[in-house]
Amino acid sequence: MRDFMDKDFLLYNDTAKELYHGYAADMPIIDYHCHINPAEIMENRKFDNITRAWLGGDHYKWRLIRSVGVDEHFITGDAPDREKFQKFAETLPLCVGNPIHHWTHLELRRYFGCDTVISGETAQEVWDLTGRKLAEDSFRVRGIIERSNVQAIGTTDDPIDDLRHHKALRDDTTNSVIVSPTFRPDKAINIDKPGFAEYLAKLGEAAQTGIATVADLKAALLSRIEFFNDMGCRASDHGLDYVPFRTTDDPAVLESIFARGLRGEDVSEAEAEVFKTDLMLFFGREFARLGWVMQLHYGAMRNNNAAKLVKLGPDTGFDAISTRECSRTVSAFLNALELDGKLPRTILYSLNPNDDAMLVSLIGAFQGGGAFGKVQHGSAWWFNDTKTGMEKQILTLANGGVLGAFIGMLTDSRSFLSYTRHEYFRRILCNILGTLAENGEYPRDIRTLGEIARNISYRNAARYFGYDVKM
């Protein structure tokens, strides 16, 4: 029997161990998509305690604690931090098979040098040890980033953001990590959701222009796109319920839909699709012009618990996987851009794991043009970034595409301690590569396999997003 989370954790054969320890483990990290706050990097935040570092804003963990009947007072409420941590520590041993059990213990070991297994009984020990470490200046945010071997971070930013923290970080000679903004224009697209008209007023202020027509809206967005580009933006990100594709040849129809949305009036789903399709095609063409990467995250069924939405707001742990099928519209969207010669490098992420094989087959239809892995099947995301979810995504890509062109893992996280997710991914990847070699399904050519592991772990993403390759 193996010890819990030993040095060969998730590595089940000798080839896998050699690939991970000899090739993948020490590669830098390109965390190209996350939700951390750039202000906390600029200010070099120091966390008061482990609750603030681990549980603040982490709806992954909140869902688990709720599942064992803990009152919201101890989750998002105003209970003391020590009591909140106690409830989490009591919950974690029940989460057998959940990646959060693995991630949390990896973080405890890598950052705090502690191999204690977290439970209600060990909560005080962990609280005290992590508290002493977090009090040190080396455990401020920038120290955590440096200790994690992070080269670049892609944050998620609204078009109206002034990006002052990004500018300050760019100008700060003591800052060792590249922090790139990512253009996330969801609020400008969601004409069928509350707050659309109010948001466009703010967008007009940020772009210093009035917005009365679709042309005005695109001009305002283009102004912000150019600003983001000047600030080092390399990618967009779009959080879509599903990928729409419904067009009209009549500009008056589009203007009529937009005018009603601007007045705060209801638009139908079909009308919203016409507007969203037009705007997404506009975005795709502009991103291709600038050389940005376009990321499409879709398939989330958000805010399922209406009572909790009213009480706690969005992004608090009440989302789920949508099974809405949209393979034809995804294809039509990519095809429309390709016909114009304006398809940017694109990453497709569906929250529904049943879409994996479809997406892998679809990306193969839009490769080429001299670009290495131009269209990507994104890493297992959100509810899928489990051990089995990552294995399925990697193997599906290997079966139907070119695994060696894959750009690998991202944290998609709000936590500065979550970089161990890259270690988790790399171990799973190396175990898959090692197993194929040990089974005689691929030559046991360690050098070739090792370079593939290094490329997927780091180099492919660095090149894809335009960062210097350091190793």
Query: Per-residue confidence at 202, pLDDT binned at 50, 70, 90?
Result: very high
Residue 97 to residue 124: CA distance in whole angstroms:
24
Contacts of 456 (CB under 8 A, 6+ apart): 403, 404, 406, 407, 408, 429
Tokens at 70, concatenated: 């803990």
Strands 293-298 and 300-301: unpaired
- What is the per-residue burial (b if ≥16 Cβ within 10 Å, else e) of 1-16? eeeebeebbbbebebb
- Could you count the other beta carbons within 10 Å of the beta carbon of residue 68? 11
Residue 359 to residue 366: CA distance in whole angstroms:
11
Mean pLDDT score across all residues of the chain: 97
pLDDT digits (tens, 9 = 90+) for 270-328: 999 999 999 999 999 999 999 999 999 999 999 999 999 999 999 999 999 999 999 99
Q: What is the pLDDT of residue 437?
A: 98
Q: What is the pLDDT of residue 406?
A: 98
Q: Model's pTM, two decimal places?
A: 0.97
Share of the chain above pLDDT 70, in %: 100
Q: What is the pLDDT of residue 369?
A: 87
Q: What is the pLDDT of residue 471?
A: 86
Share of the chain above pLDDT 90, in %: 99
Tokens at 75, concatenated: 């989750």
Q: What is the pLDDT of residue 83?
A: 98
Residue 111 to residue 384: CA distance in whole angstroms:
25
Residue 279 to residue 284: CA distance in whole angstroms:
9
Residue 95 reports pLDDT greater than 90: yes
Tokens at 134, concatenated: 């977090």
**Mean of pLDDT values over 440-469:** 98
Q: What is the pLDDT of residue 189?
A: 98
End-to-end CA gap in the chain: 36
Residue 102 reports pLDDT greater than 90: yes
pLDDT digits (tens, 9 = 90+) for 54-85: 999 899 999 999 999 999 999 999 999 999 99
Q: What is the pLDDT of residue 399?
A: 98
Residue 195 reports pLDDT greater than 90: yes
Length of the chain: 471
Strands 320-321 and 300-301: antiparallel
Considering only CA atoms, give the Rg of the chain: 23
**Mean of pLDDT values over 76-102:** 98
CA 50 distance to own-chain centroid: 23
pLDDT digits (tens, 9 = 90+) for 153-186: 999 999 999 999 999 999 999 999 999 999 999 9
Residue 277 to residue 269: CA distance in whole angstroms:
12
**Mean of pLDDT values over 340-345:** 97
**Mean of pLDDT values over 332-356:** 98
Task: Give the sheet arrangement for strand 235-240, strand by strand.
Answer: 182-183, 235-240, 293-298, 345-350, 375-377
